[in-house]
A and B are shown apart, each in its own frame.
Chain A
């Protein structure tokens, strides 16, 4: 299986901060990577697909980059509604795997 390792596991930040979350794959996955935001009690919400494509309706402060094994999700200016848990997911293999999640908390 392709292992996905996110860092950090948790992060405290303030409204207006720029935040970067990283995701590393155990082998090259090209750009077959998506990012999701999840709030308590809800299904994950798609933010980014194919590593850098922002889903329609997602605010422009969210961006993604990377290819191969190293990927990043950046939030340029945190808003109160952005405090949630974020997951990366690889679609390169038909054995789907997720990162362990990054919990973004208010400082």
Chain B
């Protein structure tokens, strides 16, 4: 069955770049039915979508991140990655990788999430 697993540093210094990778098992990231994306949740707050990548390589990002986010994919490794630059304490959150339906009717399938803390 499908599984998504986030990996990466749990602690990042302010002004540096946060980098996370999601490894997909039990499915292909080359499917035309799905986007692959990142969603975060600051402690005690709600869910915020950061961006998504389609198997063609096309990407969509949250306007609120003002160009700080990039998402890439390596289909041969069944991985996709998030980079968030110039981080501050406000970027401290649990980061979830996710499979998002292209049609909009398919719900989100979530990874378990990983906490990233921004602190010196």
Contact = CB atoms under 8 A, between A and B. Distances in A.
Interface of A: 1, 29-32, 34, 36, 43-44, 46, 49-50, 55, 87, 89-101
A92 B49 contact: no
Contacts, number: 63
A101 B37 CA distance: 20
Given A32-B105, A95-B63, 18 more contacts: A34-B107, A43-B110, A43-B113, A44-B47, A44-B108, A49-B105, A49-B106, A49-B107, A91-B100, A91-B104, A92-B104, A93-B104, A94-B35, A94-B52, A96-B39, A96-B100, A97-B49, A98-B46
B101 A98 contact: no
Interface of B: 35, 37, 39, 46-49, 52, 60, 62-63, 96, 100-101, 103-113
A78 B107 CA distance: 24
Given A1-B63, A50-B105, A94-B60, A87 B100 contact: no
Contacts of A29: 104
